[in-house]
Chains A and B, each alone.
Chain A
Amino acid sequence: GAGVSQSPSNKVTEKGKDVELRCDPISGHTALYWYRQRLGQGLEFLIYFQGNSAPDKSGLPSDRFSAERTGESVSTLTIQRTQQEDSAVYLCASSWGQGAYGYTFGSGTRLTVV
């Protein structure tokens, strides 16, 4: 596609429920990244995919968080048993190669856990 597409744009969920966030990268971009941004804060790295493998998942905050990617296409970030501290904007980005020229972000998914 022309840009990085994320869905849903907004998600309100009850504490304890599971949620799935989707990211569709720019066509041909082999690298895909997930970041989290809490209100008024900077970007917190979660996980990086190169193709469908994840060489760096060191930013996932707990085992409630997982992500997968199908080939060089769509990625899904899953948060199980959501907690209020999971409330944030989840940003997906993609890039050519290994991101030496920066990357392009999607519009994000705003997750609110009530």
Chain B
Amino acid sequence: DIQMTQSPSTLSASVGDRVTITCRASQSISSWLAWYQQKPGKAPKLLIYKASSLESGVPSRFSGSGSGTGFTLTITSLQPDDFATYYCQQYNTYPATFGQGTKVEIK
């Protein structure tokens, strides 16, 4: 299975900060990567698919980039609603696998 590694595991930031989360795949996955946001006790929510395509209804302060084995999720101007855990997921190779998550905390 393809291993997905996210960094950092935890990130402390303030409202208005620019935040970047990294996701690395153990082998090339082209651009077949999705990003999800999860709040405590809630289901994950799709933010980005195919590495950089914004899901309908997701604020434009979220963006994704990368290809091959390295990817980033960027949140420009962090908002109070953005404090959550973020997961990447590859869907290039069966089975789909997720990163371990990055928790964005209030600084």
The answer to whether A binds B is: no
Interface residues of A (CB under 8 A from B): none
Interface residues of B (CB under 8 A from A): none
